[in-house]
Amino acid sequence: MNEETKQFDLIIIGGGISATLLCLSIFKRTKDFNILIIEKSDRFSQKVGESVVDLTAVFLKSLEIDHLLTEQVHKTGVRFLFNETNSGDLGDVAEFASPTLPGAIKGYHLNRSVVDQKLLEEVQQKGVTVYRPAEIVATSFKEFENKLSVQVEDQIKHVQSKWVVDATGRGRFVAKKLNWNNKPIGLNTGAIMAHFQNIAPSAEWDTCKNHYWDGKAVGLRDFSTTHLMRKHSWWWVIRLNETTTSIGVVFDKNKVKFEDYKTFFQEQITTDAQLVRMTQHAKQGEIRYIKNLAYVSERIYSKGIALIGESGAFLDPFISPGLEMIGQQTIWLSKLLVKEKETGKFEQRKWERYSQLFYQSYASRLKIYKTAYHFMHSYDLFKVWLMQGNFAYFGKIVFPSVVFNHRIKYPLRFNMIENVAVHYFGKRLKAINQKRIKSNRVAVYQKNELTYSSVRVPKGILFPFIPFHLLFKALWAYWLLEVKELKFRKK
């Protein structure tokens, strides 16, 4: 005798943060939504990108899950360290610093395996059914009619729903089943990472003490997101708690070649002047390799199917981790799914708009990253890139979202003029770098040189003027760079 098929309003495949944030967004709109989560693993693993940027912090706050975040480490800012010659003298390390000053936004470093687990428990308490650990043994995906057979322990459960959301991340369960291919994007990156226990104190590998940061920021530099900028690659250093630090590298595979990722990772942390000081006495955990970091699916929805987060796309964790786009997707998807249940109507035009917005956003960000890996090792070149990015991100996204809460759902997109500007500046910075390579030059700067981003989100009357200040700093930094290059040519 066949087991009865259970009916749900929504089945989510995958139980990580994409799934649970979508559930919480739906429950903000209605409590009358029957959701099933199917998660194959019995525990969550580490992830690439364990830092919450500003817009993600605004979104998470709106879901009223602060009680789950307070146990995580407060992010005290963002730092970028440059050592183009791999000098052993810490005075030769230049820094671009962006301390988080007291204001309207709080960021976090997330131990994702812990946070994902707590979020899953949270939605279970709110009424979500969870099958875990579970394996999907049979599927039938038809238009608005999805049927799954799921093995949970020694039982086979049959479930059905009008909508299925794929939240399996890089597993990309539904996309693979339906043979949805990736679009060509022209960015070929990979990532390698590991967790380390008890890395060396910052005084042994970091730049000199920053009194401004220590006196003004919300916390010490040790709990910032630290980037080590290297040729065609960058390393992240993220303190997850007092003992555990996430360290990883993202690299351009067209330029960085190796045969074995574990050997490459070990070679880098034992030859890089800062990394070797940081990790030589630390206990290293399992090394994880993500071969193809950046991709985007040719489709992110069909009638009855939707992809969310890394199941549909991932770009780069450098400035904006995937959590930001996941948050924005959950706002759109929760509204579309709840509205359809209430009206019984599939609104094709609104789904197309949702799809178009996120493809446009991916394309806009992609234009930035396609050139960045050429010169990210250079202090003065990449400093200009960072300042331009700060203006675009905070001026177009963060500040409007803080002032007008409904703006948070709109991802970053460039208009025609902005696209021209991004293309020009990226091409120009790349050209300067190529000329420096031909003349065997590196960036020249003072001992312990330090530049501040001026990024802040104050609560007072200065708030509206911050984007204009960021724009002025970006243009001024670019002008000084061009003057420097002109002087060199005259010599």
45-72 pLDDT, tens digit each: 766 555 666 667 667 777 777 777 777 7
Between the alpha carbon of residue 112 and those of residues 103, 255, 290, 333, 489, the distances in Å are 25, 30, 17, 23, 49
Residue 314, C-beta contacts closer than 8 angstroms, at least 6 positions apart: 170, 293, 294, 295, 296, 322
Cis peptide before 99 (omega within 30 of 0): no
Q: Is 317 helix (H, G, I), strand (E, B) or coil?
A: coil
Q: How far apart are CA 429 and CA 145, in angstroms?
A: 51
Q: Work out the percent of the chain whose per-residue pLDDT is above 90.
A: 69
Q: CB burial class (10 A; 0-12, 13-18, 19+) of residue 455?
A: buried
Question: What would the pLDDT profile of 187-243 be if each residue is shown by its tens digit?
Answer: 999 999 999 999 999 999 999 988 899 888 888 898 888 999 999 999 999 888 889
The answer to whether residues 336 and 351 touch, using CB atoms and an 8 Å cutoff, is: yes
* C-alpha 247: how far from chain center: 15
What's the pLDDT score for residue 426? 95
Strand partners, 471: none
The answer to whether residues 329 and 355 touch, using CB atoms and an 8 Å cutoff, is: no
Q: Work out the percent of the chain whose per-residue pLDDT is above 70.
A: 93
Q: How far apart are CA 125 and CA 129, in angstroms?
A: 9
Q: Which of 47-56, 143-152, 320-329, 404-413 has the lowest mean pLDDT?
A: 47-56
Question: What would the pLDDT profile of 313-350 be if each residue is shown by its tens digit?
Answer: 999 988 755 778 888 999 999 999 999 999 999 999 99
* C-alpha 277: how far from chain center: 27
Q: CB burial class (10 A; 0-12, 13-18, 19+) of residue 137?
A: exposed
- And the tokens for 8? 């749900």
Q: Which residue has the tokens 């003072």?
A: 446
Terminal Cα distance for the chain, rounded: 88
Whole-model pTM? 0.90
Backbone angles phi, psi at 51, to 5 degrees: -130, 140
Q: How far apart are CA 279 and CA 277, in angstroms?
A: 6
Angle at which helices 348-375 and 322-343 pack, to 10 degrees?
A: 180
What is the number of other CB atoms lying within 10 angstroms of the CB of residue 434? Answer: 12
Between the alpha carbon of residue 23 and those of residues 56, 279, 345, the distances in Å are 17, 39, 21
Q: Is 398 helix (H, G, I), strand (E, B) or coil?
A: helix
- What mean pLDDT comes out for the span 66-85? 83
Q: How far apart are CA 302 and CA 304, in angstroms?
A: 6
